[in-house]
Amino acid sequence: QLQLVESGGGSVQNGGSLRLSCAASGATIRTYFMAWFRQKPGKEREEIAHIDHDGSAEYAESAKGRFTISRDNAKNTLYLQMDSLNPEDTAMYYCAAIDSRALPEEWKGHEWSFDYWGQGTQVTVSS
């Protein structure tokens, strides 16, 4: 059973950077399709970026050019580098995984596509 634990969240000022980590245990992530989601207060969870087993990544419009998703299969860890943060990025950030090397296009971006979730890490950006 895969377990995911996020870390690296915190409070930063407008324009700052953070690097989130998602440490996996219980299984190797080598064959897992993985993603970062975020949830703002009173809003639904939204996908920020996903990455398949070979490192191919896609981003939501809000993340393009500012965020970078990556994975280190040897360390069994998923990352999200976030630069040029602004107050609109304030949210709880979650990593998610499914035991599949890739997903059909119609599955991408949906919470229900993922079987495993971390507990989340809070990111707060002040103006």
The predicted pLDDT at position 101 comes to 82
Task: Classify 26 as helix, strand or coil.
Answer: coil
Whether 46 shows a pLDDT value over 90: the answer reads yes
C-alpha distances in Å from residue 116, one per residue of 37, 69, 90: 12, 18, 23
The predicted pLDDT at position 52 comes to 93
107 — pLDDT class (breaks 50, 70, 90):
confident
The predicted pLDDT at position 48 comes to 97
24 — pLDDT class (breaks 50, 70, 90):
very high
